[in-house]
Amino acid sequence: MAGQRVEIDGGIMEGGGQILRVSTALSCLLGLPLRVQKIRAGRSTPGLRPQHLSGLEMIRDLCDGQLEGAEIGSTEITFTPEKIKGGTHTADTKTAGSVCLLLQVSMPCVLFAASPSELRLKGGTNAEMAPQIDYTLMVFKPIAEKFGFKFDCDVKMRGYYPKGGGEVIIRMSPVKQLNPINLTDRGTVTKIYGRTFVAGVLPFKIAKDMAAAAVRCIRKEIRDLYVNIQPVQEPKEQAFGNGNGIIIVAETSTGCLFAGSSLGKRGISADKVGIEAAEMLLGNLRHGGAVDEYLQDQLIIFMALASGVSRVKTGPITLHTQTAIHFAEQLTKAKFTVNKSEDEDDSSKETYIIECQGIGMTNPHL
């Protein structure tokens, strides 16, 4: 069924690994042969990095496809997909490359596999420039499951920058079709909770200080809610290397979830890490949207595949989201519209409605 190859310009818009993830996942799902050029062309280290390579190899293995040009530093690949199959698949970035980004590329594909899948993903669980695994569990999972699928995520080992060494196991069953979602009613914030962690040789006091600083920062703006941030010492047998960080989640009366997170780095005080996460959360609560800025782009591919019209209210549209929409439209023929919210409550804010008429992808195996 190999028709005309779809040509993708990997250098436009967000211009990074995200273009690769969206386009190869959709290529795999739709059986479209693909050529991606100018991969990460504008980055300081252009071309494929280890984590992108492991994501590509995983997609190839998921569908017994053919992949050419896939090596570190390569700026052009061609991919010819075949049938998606279930079973056990392993992807190892061999670095602190994010397991959450590996999950982003593989999850849409295994939803349309012939049988249940187990994905063993190795790398960084709490890495820079990517969602933390805690975000995936606490925010992405409950919202993504509104599309009508379930997944189980078992964190075997946490891994931090620069060593990686983490491992998560994802188990999920295929679905016949995805339901559209409607996330437009944000409700009021009812709960704020989270965790701060230290791993390895770092003193527990850092976890307590991050939590205390974050609580103080949130209290200035939200006075009437108890903020429950638990400091945790990651057990030795479940964490590889040294790391510290924080995630804080706000839950609303309608089940919307927003987060702020931050990772410790050498030379940055615990207070500063806590405050950064708190400010990120508060920023995500100010714009009036029903999802935070990190969930925005992660929902696009599912909206494109769902049957029916999905609507999501968001704050300012991120470049990642614009990029995901562009490539989802190019590959799937789903129709997206982005309009400023008409609600009078939102008139003073940067609030938008992303609407998508999905293609109603059905699983041929079920």
Catalytic residues: 320
Q: Is 305 annotated as a binding residue?
A: no
| 133-146: b (≥16 Cβ within 10 Å) or e | bbbbebbbeebbeb
Question: Tokens at residue 120, please?
Answer: 């063993």
CA 178 distance to own-chain centroid: 18
| Distance between start and end Cα atoms, the chain | 20
User: Is residue 188 within 8 Å of residue 225, measured between CB atoms?
Assistant: no
Name every residue whose Cβ is closer than 8 Å to that of residue 237 and which is 6 or more positions away in sequence: none
User: Is residue 150 within 8 Å of residue 142, measured between CB atoms?
Assistant: no
Mapped onto helix, strand or coil, the DSSP state of residue 157 is strand
Q: Looking at 66-145, which runs of residues are DSSP E strands?
A: 66-68, 77-80, 87-92, 117-123
CA nearest to 259, candidates 282, 288, 228, 233 = 282
Question: Kind of pairing, strands 257-263 and 335-340?
Answer: unpaired
Q: Is 160 annotated as a binding residue?
A: no
Q: Is 298 annotated as a binding residue?
A: yes
- β partners of residue 124: 98
| 330-356: b (≥16 Cβ within 10 Å) or e | ebbebebeeeebeeeebeebebbbbbb
Q: Is 295 annotated as a binding residue?
A: yes
Question: Kind of pairing, strands 87-92 and 77-80?
Answer: unpaired
**Distance separating alpha carbons of residues 268 and 280, to the nearest angstrom:** 17
Which positions make up the binding site? 104, 294-298
Annotated binding site for ATP: 104, 294-298
